[in-house]
């Protein structure tokens, strides 16, 4: 669960921005560092708080304007897990094909990676006459331990919703 060196992520993004004629700014750097300085999921609002911890001048608007850039760069992934707000996941760099299980009891999000799921998705897509571009699997499930004990200790690996 090690974080990717901030430096290299920054460099990649600086290249991405340059390629689009976009500029390198201190606010964007703060947002980038905040976005990839954790392996937890976060919302736009939470990212704003984290970025402000690095540079107090970062505004909400800039966060909302920067997030789509990070997503388009391919380094950050946007998740639609059902709630009203979008959730961002910085872990696709390390685990490009992982997916999510949401516990309906405690609402925590657990990540999983499964090569069979990946292969099967590709097969189905091709069989339908398409070329795979992006696959999203969301599993909602009840925690067995929670059912038995009324509480669970699965905290490790899971992020609160």
Partner DNA sequence: ATTTCTGCAAACGATTTGCACAGGG
Partner DNA sequence: CCCTGTGCAAATCGTTTGCAGAAAT
- The correct pick among 71, 93, 117, 161 for binding a copy of itself (CB under 8 A) is 117
Min dist CB 10 to a copy of itself, Å, is 28
Lookup: tokens for 64: 């909302």
Residue 28 sits in the site that holds DNA (CB under 7 A): yes
Instruction: Give the count of alpha carbons within 13 A of 108, CB side only.
Output: 17
Euclidean distance between CA atoms 83 and 64, whole angstroms: 18
Q: In whole angstroms, how large is the CA radius of gyration of the chain?
A: 18
Min dist CB 93 to a copy of itself, Å, is 19
Q: Which of 111, 114, 133 is nearest to 122 (CA)?
A: 133
- The correct pick among 15, 65, 94, 104 for binding DNA (CB under 7 A) is 65
Residue 106 sits in the site that holds a copy of itself (CB under 8 A): no
Q: Which of 115, 101, 96, 117 is nearest to 158 (CA)?
A: 101
Residue 86 sits in the site that holds DNA (CB under 7 A): yes
For binding to DNA (CB under 7 A), which residues are involved?
Answer: 17, 21-28, 43-45, 57-62, 64-68, 84-86
């Amino acid at each position: 669960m090690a974080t990717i060196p901030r430096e290299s992520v920054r460099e990649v993004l600086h290249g991405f921005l340059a390629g689009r004629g976009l500029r390198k700014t201190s606010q964007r750097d703060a947002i980038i560092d905040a976005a990839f300085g954790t392996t937890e999921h976060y919302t736009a609002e939470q990212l704003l708080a984290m970025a402000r911890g690095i540079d107090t001048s970062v505004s909400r608007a800039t966060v909302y304007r920067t997030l789509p850039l990070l997503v388009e760069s391919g380094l950050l992934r946007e998740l639609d897990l059902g709630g009203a707000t979008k959730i961002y996941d910085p872990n696709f760099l390390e685990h490009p094909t992982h997916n999510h299980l949401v516990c309906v009891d405690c609402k925590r999000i657990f990540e999983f990676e499964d090569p069979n799921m990946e292969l099967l998705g590709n097969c189905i897509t091709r069989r339908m006459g398409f070329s795979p571009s992006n696959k999203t699997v969301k599993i909602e499930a009840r925690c067995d331990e929670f059912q038995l004990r009324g509480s669970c200790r699965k905290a490790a690996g899971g992020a609160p919703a």
